[in-house]
Amino acid sequence: MFRMMFKTILFCLCMTACTDNDSEYSVIPPEQESGVPQDYTELMNKTVAVPAEYEQEAEHKGSVVRIDYATRDYAEGTGAARTNTAYIYLPYGYDEASDQLYNVLYFVHGHEGTAASFFQDENELLRKLLDHMTENSDMAPTIVVSPSYIYGEPTAYYADADPYCKALPQELVNDLIPVIESRYRTYAESTDMTGIEASREHRAIGGFSMGAVTTWYALEQTLNCFKYFIPISSDCWSLGRFAGMNYPYETAEYLADVVCNSEYSGNGFYIWAASGTDDVAYNKTLVQIQAMSQFTEVFPITNLTFHEQDGARHEFRPMAEYLYNALPSLFPY
């Protein structure tokens, strides 16, 4: 009942949508063309469970590599030199397939997580998942990078990490992506801005909790560098902390402006959002997605879908199911 009432209210609030001449909005039927698989026919979707065997070791194991890279202080704006760490998953066969190019997913941890924890937690659950998905051709060959927004020690209160989450997309584009995608075989023919923009269709960014906050910032700041966005269990804070929850219409309107003022409206991006039905962040994520969905020319179901995992809480383990469902639709084999 809440969902239907909210959607009806927002339907009445919306005005006009992206046009060639301005960035106003209207509620109109979504366009029929889609670069997204046609089985995504509704905004709301249920995730499919990960096969039990995917929690065991696959016959063919990929490798996880640590890199330390030079970057700067983007959060406080000092530009001071600093070093950050990222971990990179290379699928099995990477060393042998010398002519194979790889898509890249940059996935950002939540509060109390680290760059290393993405591949280490729950007995290396996500590394095993990626091994099986690669082995069974569930997705096209994909490198997965786990970066971190943490400067020194994590903030005691998760929301205080907001400035660092906001800064990370710029750090990725300026410093980490050039290192990763010049060192490994990706679709980037060069790692200057021209090369990064030209290869954006083979690059995704996602994150859980504060990592999802980072992902929304990436949509706002670096839409020219990523085509796919996977925000899991948090709203957009571009208009302030918890703004997507507290001001869903204004947040949706702001993000629609971002898209309309870019060259990537239409089929130029896709947001695969998700949360668990028992997740403390479920409602604040969903209310923003429902607001966005009312701007139907900017965020039709070909550009925005929401995926809920029944019974999932705000914790690490459900991420396996989110990625199991997301990656084949973003990078199909």
Q: Taking residues 120-128, what's their average pLDDT? A: 98
- Say what the pLDDT of residue 89 is: 98
CATH for 2-330, options being 3.40.50.1010, 3.40.50.1820, 3.40.605.10, 3.10.129.10: 3.40.50.1820
For residue 19, what pLDDT band results from cuts at 50, 70 and 90? very low
**Residue 32: pLDDT above 50?**
no
Strands (E), the chain: 44-46, 63-72, 81-90, 103-108, 142-146, 203-208, 228-232, 270-276, 304-309
For residue 209, what pLDDT band results from cuts at 50, 70 and 90? very high
How far is the C-alpha of 241 from the C-alpha of 55, rounded, in Å?
Answer: 36
Quick one: 156 exposed, middle or buried, by C-beta within 10 A (0-12, 13-18, 19+)? exposed
Relative to beta strand 228-232, strand 270-276 is parallel
- Say what the pLDDT of residue 73 is: 97
203-208, strands of its sheet edge to edge: 44-46, 304-309, 270-276, 228-232, 203-208, 103-108, 142-146, 81-90, 63-72
Q: Taking residues 69-83, what's their average pLDDT? A: 96
Contact 249, 10 (CB under 8 A): yes
CB within 8 Å of 306: residues ≥ 6 apart: 43, 44, 45, 273, 274, 275, 285, 286, 289
200: three-class secondary structure by DSSP: helix
Q: Taking residues 263-277, what's their average pLDDT? A: 97
CB within 8 Å of 74: residues ≥ 6 apart: 167, 168, 170, 171
- Say what the pLDDT of residue 18 is: 55
pTM higher than 0.85, yes or no?
Answer: yes
For residue 42, what pLDDT band results from cuts at 50, 70 and 90? confident
How far is the C-alpha of 91 from the C-alpha of 140, rounded, in Å?
Answer: 11
Phi, psi for 3 (deg, rounded to 5): -65, -45
Identify the residue whose tokens are 């029944």: 310
Domain coordinates of the chain in residue numbers? 2-330
**Residue 27: pLDDT above 90?**
no
CA end-to-end span of the chain, whole Å? 38
Q: Taking residues 111-137, what's their average pLDDT? A: 98
